[in-house]
Structure 1
Amino acid sequence: MRARGCAALLAVLLAVAGCSGGPARHGPLLAGGGVDAEPHARDCLPPDGRTRTSTTNAGPVTNEGSGPVTVTGVSLVNPVEMGLVEAVFVPEEGPVNGAVYPPPPDEAGEGWPDRVVAPGAVLGPGEEWWFAVGLRSEGPAAATERIRIDYEDADGRAYYALTGTSVAMREQCIGVEIDWPDW
């Protein structure tokens, strides 16, 4: 009787432990090389004067796993006065950093016509896509610490990946000190 009680308690504890952690940080998707706690780079992009948008080419995203993954969402990490317009995967090198979003044809890159909207995209094992993100400045200090990609593997396990770059949008990026938020 006592062994059965212990086994039942162990089964409940394992079930709770398996459901309580949320998405795992380290999964099969590698986004722009960003695996450390701090971003590898900081980019400043000028917003377009009319739309207040800009494009960031957040680098390659690679599925290093043995099965497909499905992107379930994209979000900004600790945004300040910045909004997400859209996130897409482009099969060849993506658009020019700093182009208005969506980028005009001369700045969109060869693969732009074959882009896939990130939420809902399925990336097969070994596939590499460029991650292009449209951002909107919502104030003079617009910035995001990183960009987060939420996804699931074929077994329904949830993960997330972070890009390795912080992004700020300023009227002038060259020759000035950027006032980065204190994340």
Structure 2
Amino acid sequence: MAWDTDRTKRLLLDAAIDEFSRWGLAGARVDRIAAAAGVNKERIYQYFGKKDDLFRAALAGELAAAREEVPMTGTGPEAVADYAGRLFDHHLANPRIARLVFWEGLELGAEPDRDPERAAYHDGKVDGFAAMLPGADRADAAELLLTLVTLIDGWPVLQQLDAYIAGGDGPDGRAAGRRRRAVVDTMRAMAAELTADAG
């Protein structure tokens, strides 16, 4: 019987995403990833190298999937607001992305190894976002995109603050709707200001 390499890689990545999003890079265990995938852990080293490389592959895969599933379309403040809402919905349904990004920041710091593929991914994302804001400076568009990502990724990771600050009922209740409106309205207003300044 032929070994299905692609299927094995997918099983390992799925298990790694779950493990890393729960425990972070330092707390994740290769043996748990292998067991969850139903694969010998030697396959991890064979296909991905060391644990850090598996973490990077897992995060890169999740980011690429999000970009495919939530495309940037249209131009102007309403398009930015629409994108913000769709991205919020996506990350609410898949909080693993936010958790992986936060773990990356906590464990690898502000300057993780500069991965050329990851840099190209983010450059493309900034280019796409800048295209939604005709006339706006690319650096300003990048800052607005970073603000959006920060607002959205903070929600699945910092839910306890909703209870303390807004008396919320968690991401599955009314609090999620309030938070979504706040993110969308904020992005609409910031995009309007940015495009007005550009005009």
TM-score normalised by the chain length of structure 2: 0.26
Q: Which has the higher helix share?
A: 2
TM-score normalised by the chain length of structure 1: 0.27
Q: Which has the higher strand share?
A: 1
Greater C-alpha radius of gyration: 1
- Which structure has more relative contact order (CA 8 Å, sep 6+)? It is 1
